[in-house]
Amino acid sequence: MNVRVEYRGALGAQEVSGVLAVVEAATEADKVRPLNEHVMLHLRYGGDERAGAVLLYVEDDLAGYAHIDPTDPVEGPSGELVVHPAFRGRGYGRRLLEAVLDHTGGHLRLWAHGGHPAAEALARSAGFDRIRSLWRMRRSLSSDIPRFELPEGVRLRTFEPGTSDREAWVALNAKAFAQHPEQGAWTMEDLERREREPWFDPAGFFLAVRPTGDGDRLVGFHWTKVHGDGDHAHDPLGEVYVVGVDPAERGGGLGRSLTLAGLAHLRSRGLSQVMLYVDESNPSAIRLYERLGFTRWDVDVMYRK
């Protein structure tokens, strides 16, 4: 059987369509999307021109895809890969991974979503070590959502697209997540891409502001998201997409209040469940979410070679 591997920079429209078909087939089979949001946005809109793609064909059928992110000056390159369910169990995942390693000089950080046993087995057999876990937690929205009070002098409003809210949010996000390897690096372009997504709803994007003589000063935010059909296996699902607080405001309960405000909003949308991502290395955040009724549901794992 003819198997070939092709390296690409930017993908053409037909190649993107083929990759998205593989992603949808894998999502249906595994009940979890094999590529993270960052890679999906890259496919739909284009992203960093330094990013690369590896396509694996069996005869003329696209059997696998791998995304290679630009080299981090400290951590090195990272990637994600997916094999169409119809081509699994025949060594094509290993063939695709070896092609990626060949392209990256043998160094790679690799995400595996949903803790899939086959993904772990592939990573272990290729000499990767588990270095990071990103928990997915969820809770019912039919259970009690505690009332909250904002810190003195702080008021809550929603994000206004096309205004200075955009610059203020990008700046505070960078400050709030200065130690976070992905979130803190978001740019205005990252925000704009998400504003173009069908799920974007400014009514679910909450800003905590302190009024000043020069206008509102942004001190925190809770951006919620609603996943539609295709993102998850069952009914639409709410998400605590990202909660950020100015470091100068931490310790006053603002993060908790913002989280609860978002949960109340998602319940008002008629949703029955809400989820969030939290890094396993952040026990204080995990404790906060557990106190708010969240429990661990699944995990995304990063491996490194």
Q: Looking at residue 214, which CATH number applies to its domain? A: 3.40.630.30
Same domain, 241 and 145: yes
Contact present, 257 and 139 (Cβ < 8 Å):
no
Same domain, 92 and 159: no
C-beta of residue 40 within 8 angstroms of C-beta of residue 99: no
* CA–CA separation, 89 and 297 (whole Å): 27
Same domain flag for 114 and 162: no
Segments forming the whole domain that contains residue 275: 137-300
Examine the domain organization and report whether 146 and 197 are in the same domain: yes
Q: Return d(Cα 201, Cα 224) in angstroms, integer.
A: 8
The rounded distance, in Å, linking the Cα atoms of 162 and 183 is 22
Boundary (domain end) residue, out of 127, 158, 173: 127
Where among 107, 127, 147 does a domain terminate? 127
Q: End-to-end alpha-carbon separation of the chain, Å?
A: 30
Query: pTM score, two decimals?
Result: 0.86
3-state SS assignment for residue 243? strand
Distance CA 80, CA 301 (A): 11
Instruction: Please give the chain's pLDDT, 305 residues, in tens.
Output: 899 999 998 899 999 999 999 999 999 999 899 999 999 999 988 877 788 999 999 999 999 999 999 867 778 899 999 999 999 999 999 999 999 999 999 999 999 998 788 888 999 999 999 999 999 999 999 999 999 999 999 999 999 999 999 999 999 999 999 888 678 889 999 999 999 999 999 999 999 999 888 888 999 999 999 987 444 445 789 999 999 999 999 889 999 999 999 999 999 999 999 999 999 998 988 998 999 999 999 999 999 99
**222 and 80 fall within a common domain:** no
Please indicate, yes or no, whether residues 210 and 78 belong to a single structural domain of this protein. Answer: no
Q: Specify whether 143 is located in the same domain as 119.
A: no
Q: Which of 79, 104, 127 is the last residue of a domain?
A: 127
Q: Looking at the structure, do residues 96 and 172 belong to the same domain, yes or no?
A: no
Q: Are strands 237-245 and 273-279 parallel, antiparallel or unpaired?
A: parallel
* Domain total of the chain: 2
